[in-house]
Amino acid sequence: MGMWSIGAGALGAAALALLLANTDVFLSTSQKATLEYLEDIDLKTLEKEPRTFKAKELWEKNGAVIMAVRRPGCFLCREEAADLSSLKPKLDELGVPLYAVVKEQIRTEVQDFQPYFKGEIFLDEKKRFYGPQRRKMMFMGFVRLGVWYNFFRARNGGFSGNLEGEGFILGGVFVVGSGKQGILLEHREKEFGDKVNPVSVLEAARKIQPQTSAAESK
């Protein structure tokens, strides 16, 4: 009876742990970014002679849709990049650019990501687009049913990837209005493969009010 009790107790504890892992109890809480926070982020171009600039340049005139990529080699991130890229014709009609930021540049990872993402990509060395409160999902992600569903969805969609680079710091997607219009959409990835809804991105992009110069307004 003693061994049976120990075994039953262990199974019960494992079942409870699995149940809790599939709730939001232990997920990292996110802190909303402010426009002032995003504006001050330093980004770098990925040219041979990189230029450093403030992130506000990305959306100052026409707003922008920006993906903070968790890991370029991740097939889940490639799937989301392809989803966002499918919006590019409509974003082009609206005059709204599509960008991505990555937190590291390893070998050809960014170059290999580019076929999935149809916008320009920049480097965020200080990982500030992943804040203000940086969130991580460690190995708990591999016991979450939602993550496994996302895995199968992306695999069935024909996406593949690798394990190169840091992949625990969670990413997200922003739609930022022009000038001081503000953040119109902020999607924080809560688990691996938690994609933004493309319809919501497009709805937010339609709210962007492009800045007009003094000459144009006359």
Residues 171/77, Cβ–Cβ less than 8 Å: yes
42's enclosing H/E stretch is strand 42-44
Q: Is 52 helix (H, G, I), strand (E, B) or coil?
A: strand
Q: From the CB of residue 206, how many other CB atoms can be counted at a distance below 10 Å?
A: 13
Catalytic (active-site) positions: 74, 77
Sheet harboring 183-188: ordered strands across?
52-54, 42-44, 120-123, 98-102, 64-68, 172-176, 183-188
Among candidate residues 32, 56, 120, the one with its CA nearest the CA of residue 84: 120
Residues 173/64, Cβ–Cβ less than 8 Å: no
Q: From the CB of residue 70, how many other CB atoms can be counted at a distance below 10 Å?
A: 25
According to DSSP, the β-strands at 98-102 and 64-68 are: parallel
**Max CA pair span of the chain:** 89
Distance CA 116, CA 72 (A): 10
